[in-house]
Structure 1
């Protein structure tokens, strides 16, 4: 299956296209993530499955056929009110454009997120870029950001990875209806 463009407008040359991924995007997502340290590199197979099975809660940004952005997320089975954002990757060519926030806001506008009232993610204390993104997102949304250690280095990660803090952002419903 070829890449499925799910936007409703004509994309002029040079404009960013935010769309649902398809399994055909999986290898390009994998390459993009590998170019965005300090993001954890997962298997290509995993990115293909994310693009296929979780397309409703993932998004890619593309310009002139080049993948420039990726957000992977899901709605946890026990929390229909939560969008968990796993990774946000923005290519060097698109940094400084607010693309990460734009992709997250576009995800929240999808029908699958109609009941979402909070966003969660995990971030290591050393990942300044992610902290900046989510703090800015919370401010823009008028939401409250809280965090606490969640996956700890010794207890959950066998001392192989820094502690991941669970970041929770409340999302006022009126703001959700006006984003995009």
Structure 2
């Protein structure tokens, strides 16, 4: 199946919201939040779309004001039928290549989210010189006991991002 990669638009907000609902353990943001991500963060977010218009995946991110060389990845959502095909890796690659100023990438991952740890571990190993981790938000301090710690992964600088998609 042919997949295209593009910036989201507000018209994608509802489909993104529904996709994220089908991708536990991702945090369920409001539809309004997803609409704003598709509008105000479209330059740092990406959609993977099938030939028939189905949104297979969505990654949201932003560039922190104090670190214009860093792309923070907020969420990676990939519909279950598209997993294991390299789509999430391609989305990360395409997204990072959009802005030539970017040399670093950050994300947070809960310890039990094995799929995200596997994706980012492989991606960082292929494209960045180093990766550091530290607990950013702790259960019982920043979160109630119903949410795990969020571990911050800091990768950079980038060593290469192939010009062809993975």
Category of TM-score, reference length = shorter chain: over 0.9
Task: Tell me the secondary structure at the aligned position of residue 176 of structure 1.
Answer: coil
Match of 2:26 among 39, 62, 65: 39
When residues 141 and 122 of structure 1 are mapped into structure 2, their CA distance, relative to the original with a 3 A threshold, is same
C-alpha distance in 2, partners of 1:169/1:25? 29
Match of 2:36 among 41, 44, 49: 49
Task: Tell me the secondary structure at the aligned position of residue 21 of structure 1.
Answer: coil
Superposed CA RMSD? 1.4
* Map 1:140-159 → 2, pairs under 5 A: 140-159=126-145
1:66 and 2:54 are equivalent in the alignment? yes
Q: Normalising by the residue count of structure 1, what TM-score does the alignment of the two structures yield?
A: 0.86
Q: Aligned residue for 2:95?
A: 107
**Which one scores higher on RCO, CA 8 angstroms, separation ≥ 6?**
2
Q: Aligned residue for 2:76?
A: 88
C-alpha distance in 1, partners of 2:158/2:163? 11
Shift of 1:179: 5.5
Shift of 1:24: 0.4
**How many residues are treated as equivalent by the alignment?**
164
C-alpha distance in 2, partners of 1:142/1:54? 24
Return 5+ residue gaps in structure 2 as ranges.
none
Task: Tell me the secondary structure at the aligned position of residue 65 of structure 1.
Answer: coil
Return 5+ residue gaps in structure 1 as ranges.
1-13
State the Cα deviation string for residues 11-45 of structure 1 (Å, max 9, x = none): xxx41010000000001000001111111111011
Q: Aligned residue for 1:5?
A: none
Q: Normalising by the residue count of structure 2, what TM-score does the alignment of the two structures yield?
A: 0.93
Match of 2:150 among 164, 169, 172: 164
Task: Tell me the secondary structure at the aligned position of residue 116 of structure 2.
Answer: helix
